[in-house]
Amino acid sequence: KGLARLMVAVGAADVSFGEALKSVANVTGLPLKDLIRTTSLNQAVSLGIHNIGRIEPGYKAEFVQLDDELNVVKTF
């Protein structure tokens, strides 16, 4: 199950989304393309929300643009 159970959660005011994602990448060694699921679909599934977390018809979507250091540049 591995990746399907991994989640990136940011709850502390002094930890940014990008920092949390970088930490998970460093600990797991997983590439960013695989870690994207840990920031979207996995949380939705754990909360029982079935219309977010994927880029597919019928799903609501929000996008986050990151720079090379995984800092949030823009959300839309």
User: What digits encode the pLDDT tens for the residues 31-64?
Assistant: 887 888 887 888 888 889 889 888 899 998 888 8
Average confidence (pLDDT) over 13-31: 79
pLDDT for 27? 84
The pLDDT score that the predictor gives to residue 11 is 62
In sequence order, the 6+-apart residues with CB closer than 8 A to the CB of 6 are: 24, 28, 37, 38, 42
pLDDT at 12: 59
The single residue listed with the structure tokens 């699921």 is 37
- C-beta atoms surrounding 9 within 10 Å: 14
For residue 9, name the pLDDT band (cuts at 50, 70, 90).
Answer: low
